Amino acid sequence: MRFGLDRFHELDLQAIEEGWPPGWRMDHREREQNRQTVLSERLNRDLWVFAYGSLIWDPAVHLTEYRYGSLKGWHRSFCMRLDGGRGTHERPGLMAALDAGGHCDGVVFRIPADLVDQETQFMWRREMFSGSYVPSFLEIETPQGPVEALTFLMDRTNSRYMPNVPLDTAAGMIALAEGSLGPNFAYLDSLVRHLDDLGLEDEGMRILHNQAGLIRASAQNSRSLKETPDTGP
């Protein structure tokens, strides 16, 4: 997930072929202005980043330190609609984001001061690709003491925001959606496996994973039965 501007050109061509509307992603200048605004007076200081999803196992930036971290007032939720990547317009999926309420256990990592400007350019290309997050600095509790960390919160005014999706609906979307980056379920599965590896609790994610897994297995079994040749008399 560490890519240059050339990747945007490839995706723009793909978007044209698939009939995506104008403004489907964040403009380069707008994204860079957002980065400069958020990181104003912080580009020459060590930067802590809170990871709750794929940043846990694939930060795609150079860093020097990891810690366990806990954020109060926000929780991990599959509340962002995916029309691409791991979903399509016809069968959208869901992506994890931070929504208001509760708490979230994850990790924080530190980018050294001399690399912050360079590495956050890659981070913004990834996390602010569609402009669906609000980058904010929040206090994260760690075993070594609190740190103020960059945290990508769900933009609740964004058209991709899907609050309070019923469990069965969310599980069904994640179980069946698939896009250019692969099955939506693979993301949820990787998330739960990495939370387990780190000993981090998130009962909601495990319930969602179990439900989506059952739906996915049922769909695969049904597809296999339809594809099995009739060998009867």
Q: What is the pLDDT of residues 83-131, one digit of tens each?
A: 888 988 899 999 999 999 999 999 999 999 999 999 999 999 889 888 8
Domains (ranges, CATH) in the chain? Answer: 5-221 (3.10.490.10)
Per-residue pLDDT at 194: 98
Positions of the chain with pLDDT under 70: 1-26, 224-233
Cross-strand partners of 50 = 108
Per-residue pLDDT at 227: 62
Q: Give me the amino acid identity at 23.
A: G
Per-residue pLDDT at 213: 97
SS3 assignment, position 209: helix
Ordered DSSP codes for 71-94: EEEEEEEEEEEESSSS--SSS-EE
Q: How far is CA 63 from CA 4, 60, 68, 108, 115, in A?
A: 19, 9, 15, 10, 9
From the CB of residue 65, how many other CB atoms can be counted at a distance below 10 Å? Answer: 12
Per-residue pLDDT at 20: 64
Per-residue pLDDT at 220: 85
SS3 assignment, position 181: coil
Look up the pTM and report it: 0.86
From the CB of residue 207, how many other CB atoms can be counted at a distance below 10 Å? Answer: 12
Angstrom distance (rounded) from CA 42 to CA 49: 13
| Residue keyed to tokens 């860079």 | 32
Q: Give the active site residues.
A: 127
Cross-strand partners of 133 = 154
CA angle 56–72–192, rounded 5-degree value: 35
Tokens for 178?
């698939």
